[in-house]
């Protein structure tokens, strides 16, 4: 089984960390292909960054079709390009935010998300609502650190996650904590031990869901919504898309 894990930003150090999280939980017979697109933002912390990252994500899906990939994971907590990616492949495509919320909903009645900069909160509120999880997510807690700060200063990152996670559990009665950034994977196990509630990293959740879906032989439905794009004329790097009717 080949699972392609796409970090939508172009920072390779972060991609290596994401790859490590995926490798730590994969089965021995699963191959993880972790990539960053050739084009896109260095980090994703705004609507602007998110939209700029989507062409690179779709390009990596296109490459994956030629590489024989069985499933894709979009490793950014905004799940950028998720719906579009499902239109251009029959393989399962899983966003880490979606995966973490679905897994949490099977383990806890209510849960909170801890993420990066405050400006991200509105973006994630809209995402949570789109997944029908508004009643399950108690709060989206933010930190003053940007995405790449967690790579540069993991000790401070861990301390801030610890503080916000503890507040979520003690003040909001959160019964699980979701880590709202792909670069936070390394902190999950230690936080879970300290907080005594499930702490879910979306990369790990998405990889395990991907393995299960491929094992079951399920593919993305092409009946209507996720059919191949209707437009057949493209220019530039997206030219190969839309070849299937």
* Distance, CA of 98 to CA of 105 (rounded, Å): 11
The pLDDT-based confidence of 243 (bands split at 50, 70, 90) is very low
The residue-averaged pLDDT of 67-96 equals 98
Dump pLDDT digits (tens) for 165-192.
999 999 999 999 999 999 999 999 999 9
Q: What is the pLDDT of residues 125-143, one digit of tens each?
A: 999 999 999 999 999 999 9
- Is 234's pLDDT higher than 70? no
What integer pLDDT is reported at residue 94 of this predicted model? 98
pLDDT digits (tens, 9 = 90+) for 142-151: 999 999 999 8
pLDDT band at 242 (very low <50, low <70, confident <90, very high): very low
What is the average pLDDT across 153-165? 97
* pLDDT value at 233 more than 80: no
Decide if pLDDT at 106 tops 70: yes
pLDDT band at 12 (very low <50, low <70, confident <90, very high): very high
Per-residue pLDDT at 230: 87
Provide the pLDDT confidence category of residue 8 given band limits of 50, 70 and 90: very high
Tens of pLDDT, residue by residue over 213-228, are 999 999 999 999 999 9
Q: What percent of the chain has pLDDT over 90?
A: 93
Q: Given this model, what pLDDT does residue 238 score?
A: 54
pLDDT at 245: 34
CB atoms within 10 A of CB 90: 14
Name the percent of the chain lying above pLDDT 70: 94
* Mean of pLDDT values over 14-37: 97
Does pLDDT of 244 surpass 50?
A: no
**Rounded average pLDDT over 68-93:** 98
Chain mean pLDDT for the chain: 94
Residue 232: per-residue pLDDT = 61
What's the 3-state SS for the chain?
Answer: CEEEEECCCCCHHHHHHHHHHHHHHCCCCCEEEEECCCCCCCCCCCHHHHHHHHHHHHHHHHHHHHHCCCEEEECCCCCCCHHHHHHCCCCCEEEHHHHHHHHHHHHCCCEEEECCCCCHHHHHHHHHHHCCCCCCEEEEECCCCCCCHHHHCHHHHHHHHHHHHHHHHHHHCCCCEEECCHHHHHHHHHHHHHHCCCEEEHHHHHHHHHHHHHHCCCCCCCCCCCCCCCCCCCCHHHCCCCCCC
Contact of 165 with 192, CB cutoff 8 Å? no
């Amino acid at each position: 089984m080949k699972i392609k894990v796409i970090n939508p930003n172009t920072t390779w150090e972060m991609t290596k960390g994401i790859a490590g999280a995926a490798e730590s939980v994969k089965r021995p017979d699963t191959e993880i292909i972790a990539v960053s697109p050739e084009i896109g933002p260095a980090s994703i912390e705004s609507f602007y960054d998110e939209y700029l990252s989507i062409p690179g994500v779709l390009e990596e899906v296109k490459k994956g079709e030629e590489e024989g990939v069985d499933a894709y994971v979009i490793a950014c907590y905004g799940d950028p390009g998720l719906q579009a990616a499902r239109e251009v492949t029959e393989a399962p495509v899983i966003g880490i935010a979606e995966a973490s919320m679905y897994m949490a909903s099977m383990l806890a009645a209510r849960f909170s998300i801890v993420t990066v900069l405050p400006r991200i909160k509105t973006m994630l509120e809209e995402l949570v609502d789109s997944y029908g999880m508004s009643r399950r997510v108690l709060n989206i807690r933010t930190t003053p650190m940007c995405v790449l700060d967690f790579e540069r200063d993991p000790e401070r990152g861990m301390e801030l996650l610890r503080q916000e996670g503890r507040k979520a559990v003690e003040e909001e009665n959160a019964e699980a904590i979701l880590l709202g950034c792909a670069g936070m994977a390394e902190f999950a196990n230690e936080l879970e031990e300290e907080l005594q509630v499930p702490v879910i990293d979306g990369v790990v959740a998405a990889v395990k869901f991907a393995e299960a879906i491929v094992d079951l032989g399920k593919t993305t439905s092409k009946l209507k919504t996720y059919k191949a794009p209707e437009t057949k004329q493209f220019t530039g790097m997206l030219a190969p898309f839309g070849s299937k009717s």
